[in-house]
Chain A
Amino acid sequence: MDVQERVAAFGQDFQRVREEIAKVVVGHQDVVDGLLTCLLCGGHALLEGVPGLGKTLLVKSLGAALHLQFSRIQFTPDLMPADIIGTRMVLQDEAGRRFFEFQRGPVFGNIVLADEINRATPKTQSALLEAMQEQTVTVAGVEHRLHRPFLVLATQNPLEMDGTYPLPEAQLDRFFLKLQISYPSLQDLSEIVNRTTQRQEPVVQPVLTAERILEAQQFVREVPIASHVRDYAVRLVMATHADTPQTTELVQRYVRYGSSPRGVQSLVLAGKVRALFDSRFNVSFEDIRAVAIPCLRHRLILNFEGEAEGIDTANLLSDVLQHLPEQATQVASLSA
């Protein structure tokens, strides 16, 4: 099949997924695209929003739209790591002999919803670290591979902070995107009411298989990106560090640590997915700019002054995007 046809098929497939999700979830198109981006890039997403905005519903709908195994973990302070990854249990066979058997936890699924992830203790949160990065789980010295594709979709509530445990930086860095769910608009709210108060609620049909998703994941990685666009992504990440020359005054003032190299990886991969969604065969500067905030906002660690003043990292990134030139070399001034 020609690349052009493959790109067209790619677009159609994911358009169908969007349509299926849209049966249940009203609006939040950018969040849906973000989740699909994570799915195609093999990353994980952290959804942040106040209660009642449909975070869980969105993830459930995504799971329903795909022929994938969906599991949900409700994080609570007494949740233990074994409750997530599974544990060895003593079982007895018909002959009365007892033996250990590994009982898989909910992490063994394709799409794992880690609901209110910040309510669990850091120990439990960190149980996901290996799963998210290596896509394996090690119990009693035995490594268990997770299903593929594997996608962790965590949600957290930014308001009710009492009794919560903010995610450690190492954990945050493993999320490919951080998506913020905003309050629906008037029209969307009206549509939500309309859909959820009818006799029959819409049903989401699965439209994409795991194989097709894995194939798409490989396809995404082949999208061309020019060296100067890649350099722009690199400079963008470097600009989030307060001690680099291309940074901005705001970053210098409020940022303690900038983005890790995972930030560049997510920028480039998410840019590639965006190019394909747009039926293009290459990544543009615009793609990188569009995905910069969800890719990097959770990777910036503010200093005391930034925390005290309640600085939003998205604003810092907007400032960097505004000031960073596309071209670092003399080419920037060619047509001036």
Chain B
Amino acid sequence: MEEHDGLETVGQQLRQRYVRLNRFRLGGDVLLVALGVSLLVTVLIRLIDWPVALWQVYGVLLAVTLGVYGVLAWRVRLSTLAALIAADRVQGFQERLSTAYEYVQCYASNPFLPALLRDAEKSARRVEVRVVFPLHLPRRLWGIPFLLAALIGFTRLEVTPLRFDDHVGNGVAENVRREGKRLERWGHRLEQLAQQEQLDRSLVLARHLQNLGRRMQREGGEQGEVSERISTLSQYLQRMQQELRGRTLMSEAGLTATQDVLASGKSIKQELQDILKLLQHEVLPGESKQLAEQGIQRLSRQVGQNSELERLLQDLQAGNLQAARQLLQDIIQQQQAAEEMEHLERAQRALQYSSRTIQRDETGETSEGQDSDGQTPTDGGGSFEFGEDMMGEDMPGMEDFTTPGLGEDYGFARHHQERQNQPLRESEQPVSEVQVKSGEGAMRLGYVRRLPLRNEARVAAEQAVAPYQRAAEEVLRQEQIPRGYREQIKQYFLAIGIVPETKQ
């Protein structure tokens, strides 16, 4: 029926317009919700410091969003009759279009139909699709750019993860919480370093350490329980070490050799990698060969006599590029493994230290003497098990990572050879503090908090200590020190290792 075509065409146009608009609106809504969820998840991840990559989260959210949109968009449909009803209503056609369409479909024998169709066709020509279904963006969709901006901003913002120490850790013993905090911070810095150096095992370990530290701060627990947790991680760590040894097939000798190389610092690794880049060519140009030889010689000068470097140089000079490359790759791999191993050992020592500190504090042997820096003065009982090298460190194994003696800030400072070789300089701060009030009555006793740092001092330690030593000897001679404190003072000077025991 020719008269019917206009009505069908208009119905089709209306349907398409409706579906398009509604899918568009639906897309906006889904995007809005997805952005909201993304923002929420991002905030949560950043606040609780959840160890998961944001791009992974966004990927999952994107997939879910597309899936949801696909299902919902597929369900957006409209019949031609419904579209014509809408046109009748909006454009005031007094139900001509919808009635005509319905009667064409269902009651084709009605005598009114031809006239009604003609009437409807006239009306159909006046249908404005954009008027019937206007493009109207809901106000809520204006939230999309704001949410997007907030999401980008929050992704780039550095946020300090939330700590619930005050609330959650109320029942946690102070010493456990303190050690937990240390472990967490230590783990955090190890994580940064491991990410930078691309050390996979160290990265895993760092996260375990952080988790343990957080759990100790949050839950605390009995001494045995905490020690058990530390011990579990310690065992895990040992297994990692064994696995590392097994994988790299490193002998003890090889390890030592690699550690020698490591002692020269990061620049050596970079040097090795630069040399390897030079050796990547099949035919080595004379200039590259010369640069490579110079690099190896520089390394040899830095690390001293090293058989592998010598062999590398020989291979290079003999033109055996294949062997040189292989050897260089082995050296780099060994160094990588050695770095990992060193981090693992440090972590092992840190765990031991924390465990012992907690045990010691629980028994109350030195808890009163622990100051805010976490340094532990030795008492006369001699039950402290760490060696003398612990005195200047907040945590064992931190010698190469920390700037020792800077209170609780155990930074992972790069160890540079030249820094270690810096000449001693005079400290701008008082090198030590001794507050002793002489008298027969009540005494106020202060401890020497720290010795000047070796690379910050401007006078030799012996020179700085000597006046105090003399003052102490004078006081002892005059017997102004109460008897009960003498042993403590003696132990102190013995502990710092400057005063020979024979003198006492």
Contacts and interface: CB of A to CB of B under 8 A. Distances in A.
B363 to A, nearest CB: 75
Contacts of A308: none
A229 B85 CA distance: 10
Contact of A282 (B96, B111, B118, B134): B96
Contacts of B110: 222, 224
Interface in A1-40: 2-4, 7
A284 B95 contact: yes
Interface stretch (B52-60, B86-94, B276-284): B86-94
Contact of A286 (B94, B102, B111): B94
A331 B99 contact: no
Interface in B15-65: 18
B424 interface: no
B95 A331 contact: no
B90 A331 contact: no
A301 interface: no
A107 to B, nearest CB: 35
Contacts of B90: 335
A217 to B, nearest CB: 15
A229 B112 contact: no
A225 B99 contact: yes
B112 A3 contact: yes
B105 to A, nearest CB: 10
Interface in A221-273: 222-229
A223 to B, nearest CB: 6
Contacts of A283: 95, 99
A328 to B, nearest CB: 12
Interface in A153-193: none
Contacts of A2: 114-115
Contact of A334 (B112, B115, B133): B133
Contact of A227 (B18, B102, B132, B133): B102
A106 B103 CA distance: 44
A223 B111 CA distance: 9
A229 B96 CA distance: 11
A282 B85 contact: no
A281 interface: yes
Contacts of B103: 224, 226
A2 B78 CA distance: 35
A334 B78 contact: yes
Contacts of B107: 224
A189 to B, nearest CB: 35
Contacts of B94: 280, 282, 284-286
Nearest to B94: A284
A280 B112 CA distance: 10
Contacts of B116: 224, 281-282
Nearest to B101: A226
B95 A281 contact: no
A335 B112 contact: no
A280 B86 CA distance: 19
A219 to B, nearest CB: 9
A181 to B, nearest CB: 29
B347 to A, nearest CB: 63
A281 B112 contact: yes
B119 A281 contact: yes
A319 interface: no
A69 to B, nearest CB: 31
B95 A226 contact: yes
A173 B260 CA distance: 111
B115 A4 contact: yes
Contacts of A331: 82, 85-86
A40 to B, nearest CB: 16
Contacts of A209: none
Going nearest first, the 9 A-B pairs with the smallest beta carbon separation are A284-B94, A282-B99, A226-B99, A281-B116, A334-B86, A3-B115, A331-B82, A284-B95, A4-B115
10 contacts: A2-B115, A224-B112, A228-B98, A280-B96, A280-B119, A281-B115, A282-B96, A285-B94, A286-B94, A335-B134
Interface of A: 2-4, 7, 222-229, 280-286, 326-327, 331, 334-335
Given A4-B115, A224-B112, 18 more contacts: A3-B111, A3-B115, A224-B99, A224-B113, A228-B98, A282-B95, A282-B96, A282-B100, A282-B112, A283-B95, A283-B99, A285-B95, A327-B89, A331-B85, A331-B86, A334-B82, A334-B83, A335-B89
